[in-house]
Structure 1
Amino acid sequence: MTVKLDFEECLKDSPRFRAAIEGVEGEVSELETRLDKLVKQCNSMLEAGKVYCQNSKNFVSGLRELGQLCVADSMMSECLEKFSNKLSIILDAQGEVIETTQKSVKLKLQSFVKEDVKRFKDVRKEFERSSESLETALGKNAQAPRGKQHEVEEASNALLAARKTFRSEALDYVLQINVIESKKKTDILMAMLSLMDAQAQFFQQGHQSLTDLEEYRRNLTEQHTHLVLNSAREKRDMEQRHAAIKKKDMSYDDSIMDFSPDAVSGIAMEGYLYKRASNAFKTWSRRWFTIQKNQLVYQKKFKDQPTVVVEDLRLCTVKPCMDNERRFCFEVVSPSKSCLLQADSERQQQGWISAVQNSIASAFQDRREDPHSPRGRERCSSVSTSNTGPLEDQESASRAALEEVQKIPGNSQCCDCGEPGPDWASINLGITLCIVCSGIHRSLGVHFSKVRSLTLDSWEPELVRLMCELGNSAINRIYEARIDEITIKKPHPSSPRQDKESWIRSKYVEKKFIQKLPETARVTPLRRSSARRNRANTQERTGSRPPLKPKPGRATLPRLSGLSQSDIGQKNHTSSHQDEEEEIDLSGLHPGALLYRSAALQNFPVMADALAHGADVNWVNTAEEHCTPLIQAVSANSLAACEFLLQNGANVNQADNNGRGPLHHATILGHTGLVCLFLKRGADYNARDNDQKDPITIAVENANADIVTLLRIAKMNKEMREMDGAFGQSGDETYQDIFRDFSQMASNNPEKLKRRSTDLKTP
């Protein structure tokens, strides 16, 4: 049975869905008209026996008209044509038809019209009523002023209720459409079979004529039996799916959004947005927007010619608009014009902004194949994360990053499909990807994968170091550890996008292929060593809090997710005081504790393994002054480990029991490169610890001129931006140059960043 409308499509309520609804309603109306006509003709046959032959001919004519309506269905059109022809021959010789046969035809079709078609009309009325209510609620919600919270809440609650009712009625309407489409075949065919059986049984004179149809009747009966069984099965499946979808929360205020830059249809993103007119009245209109063919277009109805908003996405930028009174607004700015748009929620606003930015990046990637194009060397803010100098320097750095990253084992092929020469990367996973897989990763969301181009984006040195610490081989040993145990075939470069998307979601979102942790690894906490505990007791008695020192490392780490011993490694970190550990079994650590220990050891495969098993990147070790994995990485002076944790969502300002965050610890230990990194990642340089000391005060006390310089420049740059007001830039060239130089030095020449004593005064 062909499904006329899909349940998921009705939730979008797109112009395409509305156009399909109109087509179905026209077909049902026409079907009702034809069936009503056929029933009346059959009734005339019963009531007027004297004019039976003439009425029967009209009935045959009605069958032929019905066959013309069902011309798209070869089985039904053939059936109606054959039977109408044979009936015409029989009616030439016989003037009557057995009354019982005609009654069966009449009652069956009449029941279909009075019950099924009537039920369809009732459901349609409810759908239209809920659609009007939703449209009204959407208008009120969009018009709710930002400053009147009670009106916003009232409009939002009304919108939630209207959307829930509409989606429920829409699902019921789509179900009724599919059911009536299915039942139309079975009821009409059943009526025809009843009529044919009656003709064959009671019309002796027409026996010879009907004998010619015996073989066809048998085949048709078998087909009808299969149709009935299939229809019943599909109806049950539809009802189950309908019930399952209906159990979901219908009150959520976000449309179904799926950014797909490589979609077969060419549509990367679509959905409703409000658009402000450019006329003097500045009116707002709700339109269906689409990102396709490197353009942003909109239309009111499905058959309308799309109106182009942005001709070439590479020539535009997108940004949220907080100045307008209406909520969830964002602006698409091109050289020729600016278009102000409004989404229905904050999530939709962010989704559209991200979709436009990703489409811009994809457009640049497509253009990259033509190096002589005048636009091929353009860059915009959505493609490059930062400007590090002239265009030639950026391209040179990008080529160097590409070469260095692709030297890592496994990185010469896409991590997920194996396509050679990948030039995209996921910086929080540390893998390289082809353009198709990068688009799928981008659609997962930045909480799963942060995609960046190896050739179009500029790369900070700490990111390059991070990519070189992991690689496709190491990550696949984690996320594909159990692939041999599961009968799921890994996609190859020529696999359809749907297969790649299913594989990537199973691998990174559902994590079907990672090695399961033993039960002991889920509950075993870390215990503080006796030496640390005694030292803590001494500190409590004396009231002193000495600066945090690097934690002593462990010789080995547990084997997880199929990691080899070479992955885990033996990275010994020595210190002046070796602690005597008490009841610590690293093989039994739960993911958070494992991430904590491996961060101190700078063991990236194990850190990635712990995160894959659900480790909280901000996990707190209550036994060791509430330190976090990021603070452990600071203690080990690991720039790449800190960057890895930050890219995976670590809080750069989370403090320990002493009120010291990662920036405090980096300042105390004199790690200039880490101070530079944390300042670039938004660390609060004004935060004070329990001794009421901020990082600048600590740096001055420790006589570290480089760190004092960085902190003071960061503070001065922020003050300058605040003086400039809303139009303040992200930093002047001097500020950017100094931080870039320190980043390069920390990554490439860390020995030059040595603590040195100078005559510094407290600011």
Structure 2
Amino acid sequence: MPECVSVSDFVQEVQEDWSSPTTSSFTSKMMSCRNTVYLLEEALDSDRLVLQKMKKAAKAKYTSGQDHVAHLEQYINSMEKLSVNCHSNGEPEVGSAFYRLADFSKELVSPMKNLVSRRHDTTEVKDKVCVCSKQVEKEKRELARQYGMVRTEVSGGEIAEELEKERRSFQLTMCEYLIKVNEIKTKRGVDLLQNLIKHYHSHNNFLQECVSTTHRLKQYMEEMNGVLTMVKQRQEEEKKQLCALRDQLRPDSVPKQVYNMHQLLGDKQYGTERAGFLYKKSDGLRKMWQKRKCSVHDCYLTIAHATPNKPPTRLNLLTCQVKPSVEDKKCFDLISHNRTYHFLAEDEAECVAWISVLSNSKQEALSVALDGGRRGGGGGGESSMEDLTRAITDDIRRMPGNNNCCDCGAPDPGWLSTNLGILTCIECSGIHREMGVHVSRIQSLSLDSLGTSDLLLARNIGNSGFNEILEANLLSPSLKPSQHSHMAERKDFILSKYQDVHFVRRSHSSVAALRLGLQEATKSCDIYSLIHLYAQRTELSQPLHTHIQEKGETALHLAVLLADRTSLHILDFLAQNCSNVDAQTSAGNTALHYSCLHNKTDCVKLLLRARANIHISNTDTQPHTHTHTRFDHHVHVEYEWRLRHDDIYDSDDDFEDKVAVVTDSFLIYLLCTTSRRVQALYDCQADHHDELSFSEGQVLVVLGQEDSDWWHGYIEDEPDQRGLFPSSFVQPLSD
């Protein structure tokens, strides 16, 4: 490394040369001074490059800050406009909330603006240093050329005065150069750091202002939550009133969407089997026609998927109806028990062939079902019920969260808790069994013979929804056991989750408020609210605030009164998880009494399955013994399952046509019954002079059967009103 000279050494050498020029050795030090200048030049070049990068980064930071402020101002302006619109629309609370949030946002933008405005302080020193360093470099090169720092050859005839003059000029130039370098170091170091300290003071002030504003914003948000809750309740009440008005107006103005009344008979020459390609239309927003390979075999329609590794969709034609399109002769619809499929054939002849094959195959399925019912007492119905149970089970497995164990996350759980509606792995199911059936009732999805009633809660709850309640206060997912955890760890977690309910977010409401919540959850069929109340150890068998028929009615009585094909899961949850399924009203009626009095057959099945006492008498001294003789302990119920089957993989959106639900077992029972009095399930408007019009709930008398789909009869109260009506619109009445 070349020899250099420090500032203190340079000052000392110059002073010695100045005091005694004849004996000075400064000339020998001039090379060291030149080396020092070269090294300082390299250092200045390096610093200049670093400062240029700092300047570029500061400029980018300033620009992004300005853009951020501009976006926030646009956001605030939009909130203010929304506030004005809400005030104009008669929503003052909502408008005031938007206005206050806009004010808080302005308070947050203000310190941001102040912070961005400090950009000049952080770049001013960098600019001065760069300019100064360029100026020093220019002066250094010019003076070096003039006074010999870049030396040319010196003649030997120079006298001592000229040598002394040259030394003085060199010393002066070197001194001025070092002064400039000292200024650069000061501005690059101390001044720059002082400005950065000011900049970070601005950061500190910005954060303090934001913290202060955020604290006040938090207080306002807590106040606003209460106001918004009241506003939402008011809007919900308005919605209920509008829905009630809509239901009141609908029968006269809007026809209900039900099964097609005109089920055409197929041309027998086409047979009952066919294979080929059809275009299936998706029911979503895109309305795309998708080419699918279809086949009809053994009374089933199979629809292949576009993805080869996806299993095809299989539709039991026993519960389907074919409806030709009026607008396009190449199109037809196939209405199943839970959706409507739209098909397009290559031409009209192809369409007629497909419609005939589907109709013939359905007719064959009906004949098989009728023959099986006469010979074997309904063996076809059992097969259909098994198909339905299998379809429900497959649908449950595809629900959110059900691909993993509810407790440890193990894949493909195969065990069902019938009273909680969740799926677990085999290891966790053993711990559930140890807790007892009063906590969890475990069945195998593959090994046990399940009925549809066992699947009610699983179809309406699922692992994801259940864990959102039972694990709401779980501090970290890492506290949950994994599929590789030891049994002791699993057991501790499961006991804490189900028996001690440690992870439930509690509402801290009064007993009266919880009882009111129980009544509202039952009325609105809100299964998750019921689970939350159950997890908070609310007594599900307590008398409700208000009653519909008799004082002392419980949520179970209310669920029976409101039960239909869409709300049986509410009754099932209450029956399986309440402490007293035999709670009585002031008149001594239990929920089982209510089920008998109102002819709720499925409710009776669920209550008997929950071990309801059939020997309790009411004030009329009528026990349930007659109920037990009329209703067997069946495990199948008539319910609107709304199955998705395999269609969720077919890129089709949810269907829009709401069709009536007719399960396989009900249709077979309807066709095999010997009763001639039937009750209307839906409103029916005649399209031809020989057809019969009637309203939901009316009783009809069957006189004859045109075919499997159309019967002939009259209205019991109006014998003169006679005609044809669809068999799928009615249900039999027991004599």
Question: What's the TM-score bracket when you normalise by the shorter of the two chains?
Answer: 0.3 to 0.5
Which structure exhibits the higher relative contact order, with contacts defined as CA atoms closer than 8 Å and separated by 6 or more residues? Answer: 2
Q: TM-score, normalization: structure 1?
A: 0.32
